[in-house]
Structure 1
């Protein structure tokens, strides 16, 4: 028997999972029940683009195409409160100026409810008792601030409720009355002001310090307005769940967990009363307050393998749509009749993945050098771990996959990027480094002013852990990620070039000064948060810190291969961020592969573009780490990929 010598050799006998199967359009996704229970809706392709479809609940095969997106998939849709219409948002070529559209279910007539240029809509409030109206925020008057309007969903009429010249956000109750306004204070925290009869209190009624600002906030009112829910970390570390009596102001602690913030919740679709809540440390754990909900969730747990959750409910709460992640099979959705305790299959998102060699994900706790614990997730290639203990039989090339944000987190479950890279022969490790959300404020605040410093140390510590554990081959570790993950990639190749064999930067900033200079205008009301957590460009000390943490100024230190992907219309990380570092590298005679998509923004949302870029990534990693790669074929011709430089550096491209 021949001993495998490369990552490609190790998986040579494992079925190749195609990029199309992993990254192409799902057959169906995003299923919802209309509030009245008469209709089912979902997302599915039409002429290759994800659109919204609808069918009567009792005749699901009688489906109608409800939307007609031609170029970009519809990113989000929802039902009107009265079940008469489907609403969705859409931008143009990734500019994130989302407008609101309506499709009348009876007639199929489609219309734009916010026909403005350079405008980004916000949903401020919806109601269970006022079914034909919602509150929306529009920044068409001043791009920095969202004026609040009441939108008549029947006529399309917009009525100004509040002209906003200073506030970052609002909270409304079920009567569509604004009850709170919030804005950032000088310290980077949040001042919350009550609104009474349209008047905003002169002094803040609640103050959330900057340290608590990502772990505290309002969870919304019950329909009768008597209870206001909060997630609050003030006076503690993790965000706990409280119920506040709106008449007396008295707060009652409902739930807390020392490991993680209280996360998702289930509330009654009509009353808004809390029924269950979730805590996600390594995996999600649901806790029930309502006995009826507990009975239903317990029954579902007995029926379903892997993880599951409730994705949609009818107003009478007799029908649910339930998602199920079997973890080593494609995600599927069921219709759940609660009275009969009956599950009816609705769809499998990607049936072409049935029977493919999908691999389990291993939760891990990795120690950082200063004592912090980093919740992490590891996936190994098939046939690399004979005893299933999460340690391969021999060290493997590894991809360190870094999440964006950085104020976000990685989680447990089916992850198509993990599955793709593992199938190509790599161990894949995702690390919740300090600054990641969900693990309490101390974990978040440990990252303040630590970009490229202890935040990056965590990633290096995770690599060293993987090497010492026999998981990773020390000389064959790639770093890859999008947004902050792209920045971390650039940091990895400039600040610690000896650690990584190569890097893949997707829409990552290279210069923190110019990043903060070019943020979208509607982020301005919260910009102090960036200054406190990243560095303040209005001070000499802060400006120097941002410069010291910017990979651009160390471009000459890049000695390992680098692939950069960028959307030309990105409003968050402008194309100039990638242009700058590519120009700096070329000025030093350092090779780089640079791919631009002229019709994309912050990430690649058209499947053709995502597949094309991943084809390039496969060839790049195969060149650097020795894993296998599916032939590129004609995928580049189907995309808008513009390879501006470095085509000859990637296996299969030249």
Structure 2
């Protein structure tokens, strides 16, 4: 079943509020008006999403007022009565799941504390939908809240590293399954235990594993069915056979390079079928059913996404597989159930300007469906659809201050690299920009690098830059996942080489197309994107006028040994089995490492440069930034240095995000923007 791209299916997207009579009208920005405030892009979200209870009668939502913590509220949809069931002065509500129709479980986070100051386990709590029966189940900061001490007086709390699973579970009792990693002496995860936890009593039962496990999967009845282990670079998929209640091995393959027989479990259908993603001898991943009898995937794919690896999840209801949600250039849904397709069509007619993802509660007779709607100019917005009346009601959006009419349109495009490889990319233009205008361009490079980059939809960073008058190009250079095996493997051991060429070729393509002013191009990115920024300035000085690097790798060798007193969160197994294959071997590829080291190329970088690093970063420790800064400032006086002492690998605090992007705005203004002196 091949699928066309989601954007082509839905057409060009406009502002959500234009389609909804209950949205407040957005005023068009007058000529010369100030651009949208930084805070409207980078403040903490005021609405954290919503989920329907199993019956569909109750809705749980995470919400907050201006400057407030996220709280957990439950709405009875029969009478629209709202009850705040959990709220804290020193924590925000994190993940929330329905245990059953009367009880919820949740953890907490802290959006006001940076990682370097954080002494916060996520905790684990359960509460009834009316606010009664609050019980702390796992520790936070090593102890319970004083206000909750009575709830755990008869039973010790679970350790801080007790986490909610992804997925709904059975939702038919007061119990749910949680995971708890077991650490070795170096602090790395040795195995992950699976516990059945009674949320009323706090009692737990440990599921017997088949060996060391990294992740677990429940079946259609909410019972443990798969255990996935990883050891010495090999992934092993274990299956708990319901016929004899014994574990057996379904497959083993390289954890990092895959190979023949490799697949990724996606989930179980109501009839017990295991659905997986696999290549099936082709370039692109597709959705397959697994054949327990042969121990192999069935030969015919069930869903293929043209031009993309299949990535998504199953959509089920009690006793029925309804469809799959997938991601191509944007999010889409393939409904197997005709009634659900008809419902999707009705909602799409009401919301013709957005991608509309419909979620159903477990009960087949539910009255409401939940809709998540978004576009390139509209942040995700949650709505309720009444199945009886056909009415839509808006619940909330993460960034209510965003005026969609002032956002830039985003285009999905492709260009050719110099060796002929097809490179997908996103291009965001400023709102109101003429199609034939040559604009200052920011080439925004994603991190990873072996991950999927940006997908079509509203993004605070690209939209902020567009709101300041810049075109933004986001290339999915070779090595980016999601575009097939050939595209992925073409990026192995190509840091600073062909991967870098792909990025430069994108900038040159934008010049050739009349999009970019060749005198006003800046390269920017975080993590691997920061590395690519530095290497771009060194390799293509005539192309890039300036660069912005935050949390960027400055030497591949330092990924192996550069911690400067901080423990890296890069696992030893990844260093031993993954990095030598995908990035390079520090001995065999020593010469290549030297040639592609920004630190060793620092003297070649003479363009203006903005560097920003977090003092508590365990992925790319501060040592990376400090060493490079000490090297580059010897020959370059146009280097700005920012250090956020308590931040990690990216900026978790809204004040730091606003500060950083305010500095970026000024930096770009004076180098390629309105204040730049052009030659």
- Please confirm whether the aligned pair reaches a TM-score higher than 0.5, indicating the same fold: yes
Alignment check: 8 A CA contact 1:32 1:40 kept: yes
Alignment check: 8 A CA contact 1:310 1:323 kept: yes
Residue among 124, 136, 140 paired with 1:101 = 124
Instruction: Quote the offset at 1:341 in angstroms.
Output: 3.0
Match of 2:312 in 1: 264
Residue among 349, 354, 359 paired with 1:302 = 349
Instruction: Quote the offset at 1:264 in angstroms.
Output: 2.1
Q: Which moved more, 1:469-478 or 1:54-63?
A: 54-63
Unaligned runs of 5+ in 2: 1-29, 143-158
Match of 2:13 in 1: none
- 1:378 paired with 2:420, answer no
- Work out the CA distance in 2 between the residues paired with 1:286 and 1:175: 23
**Aligned runs of 1:44-83 on 2, under 5 Å?**
44-45=63-64, 48-58=67-77, 59-60=79-80, 62-64=82-84, 66-68=86-88, 70=90, 76-81=95-100, 83=102
SS of residue matched to 1:346: strand
- Work out the CA distance in 2 between the residues paired with 1:93 and 1:554: 32
Match of 1:398 in 2: 441
Match of 2:22 in 1: none
Instruction: Quote the offset at 1:522 in angstroms.
Output: 7.4
- Work out the CA distance in 2 between the residues paired with 1:22 and 1:521: 29
Match of 1:241 in 2: 287
Residue among 410, 413, 418 paired with 2:462 = 418
- 1:128 paired with 2:149, answer no
- 1:602 paired with 2:621, answer no
TM-score under structure 1 length normalisation: 0.83
- 1:581 paired with 2:628, answer yes
- Work out the CA distance in 1 between the residues paired with 2:660 and 2:496: 26
Match of 1:219 in 2: 266
TM-score under structure 2 length normalisation: 0.81
Assess, with a 3 A threshold, how the Cα gap between structure 1 residues 254 and 178 changes in structure 2: closer, same or farther: closer
Match of 1:454 in 2: 498
**Structure 1 residue ranges, 4+ long, deviating more than 6 angstroms after superposition:** 116-119
**Aligned runs of 1:90-169 on 2, under 5 Å?**
90=109, 93-94=114-115, 99-105=122-128, 106-107=131-132, 109=134, 111=136, 113-114=138-139, 123=164, 127-128=169-170, 131=173, 132-140=175-183, 143-144=187-188, 145-152=190-197, 153-162=199-208, 166-169=212-215
Alignment check: 8 A CA contact 1:487 1:508 kept: yes
- Work out the CA distance in 1 between the residues paired with 2:585 and 2:487: 21
- Work out the CA distance in 2 between the residues paired with 1:592 and 1:77: 44
Alignment check: 8 A CA contact 1:362 1:378 kept: yes
Residue among 525, 528, 531 paired with 2:580 = 531
SS of residue matched to 1:581: helix
Alignment check: 8 A CA contact 1:269 1:313 kept: yes
Assess, with a 3 A threshold, how the Cα gap between structure 1 residues 342 and 479 changes in structure 2: closer, same or farther: same
Alignment check: 8 A CA contact 2:500 2:532 kept: yes
- Cα deviation digits, residues 63-114 of structure 1 (max 9, x gap): 416232637x555443335551231253773379863421413327362525
- Work out the CA distance in 2 between the residues paired with 1:546 and 1:204: 38
**Aligned runs of 1:245-644 on 2, under 5 Å?**
245-246=291-292, 249=295, 251=298, 253-271=301-319, 273=321, 275-280=323-328, 282-310=329-357, 312-317=359-364, 318=366, 319-354=368-403, 356-385=405-434, 391=435, 393-406=436-449, 407-517=451-561, 520=568, 523-527=571-575, 528-537=577-586, 540-588=587-635, 590-627=637-674
Q: How many residues align structurally? A: 605
Q: Which moved more, 1:462-471 or 1:104-113?
A: 104-113
Instruction: Quote the offset at 1:507 in angstroms.
Output: 1.2
Instruction: Quote the offset at 1:15 in angstroms.
Output: 4.2
Assess, with a 3 A threshold, how the Cα gap between structure 1 residues 568 and 442 changes in structure 2: closer, same or farther: same
- Work out the CA distance in 2 between the residues paired with 1:99 and 1:287: 35
- Cα deviation digits, residues 112-171 of structure 1 (max 9, x gap): 525587965555576216641203032345532233130413333444435798544344
Assess, with a 3 A threshold, how the Cα gap between structure 1 residues 370 and 108 changes in structure 2: closer, same or farther: farther
Assess, with a 3 A threshold, how the Cα gap between structure 1 residues 531 and 122 changes in structure 2: closer, same or farther: farther
Alignment check: 8 A CA contact 2:63 2:73 kept: no
Alignment check: 8 A CA contact 2:63 2:70 kept: yes
Alignment check: 8 A CA contact 1:166 1:525 kept: no
Alignment check: 8 A CA contact 2:369 2:386 kept: yes
SS of residue matched to 1:409: coil
Unaligned runs of 5+ in 1: 1-10, 386-390, 630-654
Alignment check: 8 A CA contact 1:54 1:66 kept: yes
